Amino acid sequence: MASRLKQQSRLLDLIANPFRRPFVLLRPIRLIREAYFIAN
C-alpha cells in the first residue's frame, strides 16, 4: 500500500516538476541500456 502511495506521489512530482522530468525518464532508460549491454 505504501509503495502505491509513493508511486502516486512520484507521478504528481513529475507533473509538478517538468524540468526534472527528463532526468527521471533518463534514469530507467540508462538502467535498461546497461542491462542490455550486460546481457549481450
Please choose, from the candidates 9, 14, 12, 40, the residue with its C-alpha nearest in 3D space to the C-alpha of residue 27: 14
| pTM (predicted TM-score) | 0.34
CA–CA separation, 32 and 3 (whole Å):
22
In whole angstroms, give the CA distance from residue 37 to residue 33: 6
In the chain, where are the structural domains located?
2-39
Per-residue pLDDT tens digits for 1-40:
578 878 888 777 767 676 666 666 677 778 888 888 888 8
Phi, psi of 18 (to 5 degrees): -65, -25
